[in-house]
Chains A and B, each alone.
Chain A
Amino acid sequence: MILAVVGGKGGVGKSTVAYNLTAALDEGESGRQSVVVDADLGMADLPVKRGPDLHDVLAGRAGPLEAVRPGPVDVLACGRSLAGARAADLGSLSAALERVEREYGTVVVDCPAGMRADVGVPLALADACVVVASPKPFALADAVRSRELARELDAGLAGVVLNRVVDDAPEEAVGRALGAPAETVRADPRVGNSVGEERPVVAAAPDTEAAAAFQHIASAVRACER
C-alpha cells in the first residue's frame, strides 16, 4: 500500500512521524517490508546519503530502487537543490512509487507542506493517508484543509497524529474535526532526534509512550490495508 503522510503546515513533524511510523509498520515483519519516501522535492528533511535520490529518479536519471538507502529504516531520500526540484517531473512519481511498492509492499510517503501538486500527486496515488497535526489551533486548520484535499483525491484517512503534545491533548476535538480518532505523540527528545540519529523510537526506546503511540498508528494503518 502507498500511505501519504500530510499535514498542511510545515514544522508539525510530518517527516518524524513518517520515519517512525515506517519503523513501526516494519516491526514483527520478516524482512524489510516498508520504506519511507521523502517527497518534499523543494525542502527535503530525511537524511540524504551518497548516491542517487528522488530528484534523480523523477528526472529519469536513476531507477527508484537504486535510490533507496538501507538503514534502521530504509529511506528513499530527496535531493536538496532547487535545480533538482525544478527538473523533477511529478508525472513520473506514479511509476516510481509503484515500483517501490512492488518491491517492499508498504511505501510511506512523507509529503511537503502546502496544498500544491507536490502534495496532491502523492495523495492521488496513495491508498490512504495519515494527517499530522500539532495541538496549536492554527496548525489544526491546515490539517483540516489537508484532510479535505485527501478526500477529494480519494485517499482515505487511516489516522490522525497529534504531534509534540506538551499538556492536555485536545484529542477528541481534533478527532471530531478530522473524522478519525487522534493518536497523541508527546513531546519527547527521543522522538525529535530519531530522524537525525537514525534511531526510530520503536527500536531505540520500545517501552516509551511514544513507541506505543506509533505502534497504535501502525496497527490502524494495517487495519485499513485489510
Chain B
Amino acid sequence: MELSWSVDHADGVSFVTVRTTNETAVDQRIRVENRLEGPVLPPRRAGVPEDGWDAEGYEAVVSAGETVSLGYACPGETGADNVDADSPPVELVSVERPASEAEVSENPTAEHALRKCGTARPPRDAVGRVVSGDDNGGGEGDGMTDRDNEDSDSDGRTDVRAGATETAGATETAEIPEAVDEWFGDVRERVEDAETLTDASVGEATTVLAERGGLAAVERLPSCLDGDAATLRAVARRAERLAERAESTDVPLDALRGIA
C-alpha cells in the first residue's frame, strides 16, 4: 500500500488530505488513523459522517490497483507553527484482506438513508427558539419567546410547554419582563453551546462550530460566559435584596384612606 498526504492550516484548523493506492493484485481493507492532536471532523452528508469514518479515522476496502482519496479536518492547538512539518498527520494502522464479499454490500442502515435522503427536520427559524428538549429545569422554561408560545397554543400541546408547566409548578408563576427574558435567552444559548462542547462528540462539536460561525466565535465563548456568570450573580444579588425590601414594606392603606 502506498500512502501520501498533505496538510493545510487555516484559522486553527488542519485540513488533511490522504491518498492511498492499493498496488497489490487483491482487494485490501485498510484503516487510517489520525495522529494530530484534536478530534477528527469527517466529511458529512445531511449531518451524518460518510461511510467508513469514526472518531479516530477511516476504514474501507480498496479494490486492487485502485486509489482512494480522503480528507478530514482537525481543529486544535496544532497551528502551522508548532506542528512538525515532517511528522505524518495520519498512520496506516492496518491492511488486511476483507473478510468476505458480503462485507462490501451490507444492508442499508438508518445512516445510509439519512445520507441518501437528506434531513427532514423543520428549519430552526420555523420553530423559534427551542428549549432543547429534555431536562432544562431551573427557570429555563420561562425563557420562551412569544413565537414559542404561539406554537404551543396552536398545537395544543408541545414539549416546550411541558417544560414550562414543570417549572411553573416548582416555583411561583411570575411574569418576567421581556427585555430580561430576552437576555436570559441569549445567555442560555451560550451556556447550552458550551455544555454541548464540553465532552462533545465530533458530531456535536461540528454542529455547534458550524452554527456559531467557526472556531473564532467559539474562542470568545469562555470569556463571554465568565462575564455572563458574574452579571447573573450580580443581578441575582440585587434582585434578592430588592425582593426582600419589597416584601418587608407594609403600606398602611387603611390609615391612608382615613387621611384622604
A contact residues vs B (CB 8 Å cutoff): 41-42, 55-56, 59-61, 79-88, 90-91, 93-94, 112, 114-121, 123-125, 149, 152-154
Total chain B interface residues with beta-carbon distance under 8 A: 35
- Given known pairs A42-B122, A81-B151, A125-B110, the reply for A152 and B160 (CB within 8 Å) is no
Inter-chain CA distance A115–B110, complex, in Å, is 14
Determine if B110 and A121 form an interchain contact, defined as CB atoms under 8 angstroms apart: yes
Inter-chain CA distance A41–B108, complex, in Å, is 21
Inter-chain CA distance A120–B112, complex, in Å, is 9
Determine if B112 and A87 form an interchain contact, defined as CB atoms under 8 angstroms apart: no
Q: Which of B111, B132, B155 contacts A87 (CB 8 A)?
A: B132
11 more CB-based (< 8 A) A-B contacts, given A59-B133, A90-B120 = A41-B120, A42-B122, A81-B157, A81-B158, A83-B151, A87-B159, A94-B109, A116-B117, A117-B116, A120-B116, A153-B113
Determine if B109 and A86 form an interchain contact, defined as CB atoms under 8 angstroms apart: no
Determine if A93 and B110 form an interchain contact, defined as CB atoms under 8 angstroms apart: yes
A contact residues around B128 at 8 Å (CB): 83
B contact residues around A86 at 8 Å (CB): 121-122, 124, 127, 130
Inter-chain CA distance A91–B49, complex, in Å, is 12
B contact residues around A116 at 8 Å (CB): 117-120
Question: Which residues 80-115 in B have Cβ within 8 Å of A in the complex?
Answer: 107-114
Q: Can you name 19 A-B residue pairings with CB atoms under 8 Å?
A: A59-B134, A80-B156, A81-B152, A83-B130, A83-B158, A84-B158, A85-B122, A86-B127, A87-B133, A90-B114, A94-B110, A117-B113, A117-B120, A120-B113, A120-B116, A123-B113, A152-B108, A153-B112, A153-B116
Does B26 have its Cβ within 8 Å of any Cβ on chain A?
A: no
B contact residues vs A (CB 8 Å cutoff): 46, 48, 107-114, 116-122, 124, 126-128, 130-134, 148, 151-152, 155-160
Q: Which 7 A-B residue pairings sit nearest by Cβ, starting from the closest?
A: A120-B113, A120-B117, A81-B158, A116-B120, A118-B120, A124-B113, A117-B117
Determine if B122 and A79 form an interchain contact, defined as CB atoms under 8 angstroms apart: no
B54 to chain A, nearest CB (A): 15
Inter-chain CA distance A87–B158, complex, in Å, is 11
